[in-house]
Amino acid sequence: MPELPEVETVMRGLSAVLTGRTIARAETRRAGLRWPFPENLAERLGGRRVEGFRRRGKYMLMRLSEGESALIHLGMSGRMVARPPGQEPVARIAPQGAFSDARGAGDGLAHEHLMLETEDGWRVGFQDPRRFGCLDLVPTGAEDGHRLLAGLGPEPLDDAFTPAALSRSLAGKNTPIKAALLDQGVVAGLGNIYVAEALFRAGLSPRRLAGTVPGARAARLVPAIKAVLGEAIEAGGSSLRDYVRSDGELGRFQDRFEVYDRLGHPCPRCPGPPACPGVARIVQAGRSSFFCPRTQR
């Protein structure tokens, strides 16, 4: 599932295409995705001007004229597709970032379930083969009260996400710190990749109980989270499957992974065997955790 950096990069790509333009026509090609689309969705989107975008956790909010926002979640396989005026399908905004060559992407277009066309001919579609994504409409002034957003924790890149704030959220928790950070009510937008990388930078084991992190350990963890996310956004996110940019290149943050998906590789902080056996992997709540058993305690 796309995590915060991928969703942020998608949102920026969409904003570059849509902000300031009017949706002349919308078309739905099925009744919904994970949940049914709002009633009369196409008619409610048509004629609206796109005023801007906002991200909340792993969700995007496309703000429209007349005080309504479209809440978008990419799910497991969702992507946004943009087609410039007068061209056949050319551009893809995948969960790693900006535009990519989509000529010949027939399978993707077969799963384009929603299409928006601007007054000057841009087309933006929502493709989702597995249909775990969603789109809903919400009053712009009540975005944070939507059922999918109401329980989200703080944004990790906001100034309000401080060691003290994280310490308060973790106090008394008996779950592993990895599970706590994946809890979207503790902090919004983190997923398996960036939790692994942030814990490594902070020197914290994914098995450490969350309740032991407040204080000095939180003071190491919060800057590590912010740094990892910032670098991932700058790199266009992490491309682990088929996501490519306009020049055919992948998002590049996977080239900077220090522990995630690097089982058996040398730890970049250790002298190597026998002092350190390299990056290890354990399974927590059915998900892989990668870490250095020597430096992460």
On the 0-12 / 13-18 / 19+ scale of CB atoms within 10 A, 160 is exposed
Q: Among candidates 283, 281, 275, 282, which has minimal Cα distance to 294?
A: 275
Rg of the chain over Cα atoms, rounded to whole angstroms, equals 20
- The alpha carbon dihedral of 260, 261, 263, 269 has a sign of negative
Catalytic positions = 2-3, 58, 287
296 neighbors 205 (Cβ within 8 angstroms): yes
| Locus of tokens 């003071």 | 219
The reply, when asked if residue 173 is annotated as ligand binding, is: yes
φ, ψ for residue 223, nearest 5 deg: -60, -35
The reply, when asked if residue 226 is annotated as ligand binding, is: no
Pairs from 271-274 (Cβ < 8 Å, separation ≥ 24)? none
The reply, when asked if residue 294 is annotated as ligand binding, is: no
On the 0-12 / 13-18 / 19+ scale of CB atoms within 10 A, 172 is exposed
Annotated binding-site residues for DNA read 111, 130, 173
Annotated binding-site residues read 111, 130, 173
